[in-house]
Structure 1
Amino acid sequence: MCQSIVARTFWSNRRGEQPVSGKTMCSERIVQWGDSDPAGRINSPRAFDFAVEIVEAFFRTELGVNYRQLIQELGLGAPVVHSSCDYTSMLLEGDTVRLTLSVERLGTASVTWRVVAHHWMTGAQAFSVRMISCFINNASGKSVPIPETWRQKIGTFVSMPEAMTP
């Protein structure tokens, strides 16, 4: 199982952009029958579930807090306020998929997560999920700045340094 954090650096060939660097977090999982429709193809909404699972793992391993602690003990939330998914190839029941998490943008109170899924055997991309989470105070429902220690940790996963607001 790939549940380690790996460093990555690569060149983007779009519009002459500078090198892109930042950490990624990856995990592998098997597409279960319960993830699938009767024909054995992954149900489309499960891509979002897979994405939320790796973001939740990020909170636990990188920020040292699980969702229950975030909500009940710290009085914070980080709900998804926008999400989208591009599907590029089919996943079938029994397929092993590799999920890679990176941070596309880090704002004062928000994080744009990118989760890309690849077929483990072929390396073909299966889907790419983009989710924006906004940190909130649960009592007021209003956005709050990301705690500075967390912001620094999340910042090491930003794929492009200019995508981080001061």
Structure 2
Amino acid sequence: MTRPTPTSLSDYGLHRHVPTRWSDNDIYGHMNNVTHYMLFDTAINGWLIEAGLLDLDDGDPIGLVVETGCHFHGPAAFPDQITAGIGVERIGRSSVSYRVGLFRNSEETSFADGRFVHVYVDRLARRPMPLSERWRQELGKLIS
């Protein structure tokens, strides 16, 4: 198996700062692996909210995570300052495949690279619903 190459911050058109917390460190003194997935989720959903696409209280659609993955390249820990680079790999009828690179402090090379797939569903029925043209336009800006 070949080890994936870390990405560069310049590989991403959108950068979001996501804080680390004391509780992110594990007994080994570095960020616990589950925290990487929380950072992916926080970065993507934070952007969706700021872009006016996701309304947490009563909007439609909502995104359900159906697939995740992460390649770990190096450690991070509190109090590191994390930048998440966000890109879109694919926009489907009702799904979006995101890629996220995590960068610590002022480093230009990722310490982790992830893949995150949302299926967007009707809030009540929880059935997939097609993405609107507005969603497609905003997400299209992040295709890389």
Q: Is the 8 A contact 2:45 2:54 kept in 1?
A: no
Residue of structure 1 equivalent to 2:78? 93
One-letter amino acid of the structure 1 residue matched with residue 58 of structure 2 = Q
Q: Alignment partner of 2:33: what SS? A: coil
The runs of 4+ residues in structure 1 deviating greater than 4 Å are none
One-letter amino acid of the structure 2 residue matched with residue 154 of structure 1 = L
Q: Alignment partner of 2:26: what SS? A: coil
Q: Is the 8 A contact 2:95 2:120 kept in 1?
A: yes
Q: Deviations over 1:108-158 (max 9, x none)?
A: 111001110112233331111101101112333221101121111111111
Q: Alignment partner of 1:68: what SS? A: coil
- The gaps in structure 1 that reach 5 residues or longer are 1-21, 160-166
Tell which structure's C-alpha radius of gyration is larger. 1
Distance 1:109 1:31, change over 3 A: same
Q: How many percent of aligned residue pairs carry the same amino acid? A: 19
Q: Which has the higher contact order (CA 8 A, sep 6+)?
A: 2
Q: Is the 8 A contact 1:28 1:98 kept in 2?
A: yes
- The gaps in structure 2 that reach 5 residues or longer are 1-10
Residue of structure 2 equivalent to 1:123? 108
One-letter amino acid of the structure 2 residue matched with residue 122 of structure 1 = E
Q: Is the 8 A contact 2:103 2:112 kept in 1?
A: yes
Q: Deviations over 1:14-55 (max 9, x none)?
A: xxxxxxxx9722122342211111332101000110011111
Q: 2:41 aligns with which of 40, 48, 52?
A: 52
- Figure out how many residues of one structure are paired with residues of the other and give that number: 134
Q: Alignment partner of 1:158: what SS? A: coil
Query: What is the alpha-carbon distance in structure 2 between the residues aligned to residue 103 and residue 43 of structure 1?
Result: 25
Deviates more, 1:47-56 or 1:112-121: 112-121
Q: Alignment partner of 1:39: what SS? A: coil
Query: What is the alpha-carbon distance in structure 2 between the residues aligned to residue 69 and residue 59 of structure 1?
Result: 14
Q: Is the 8 A contact 2:53 2:135 kept in 1?
A: no
Residue of structure 1 equivalent to 2:68? 83
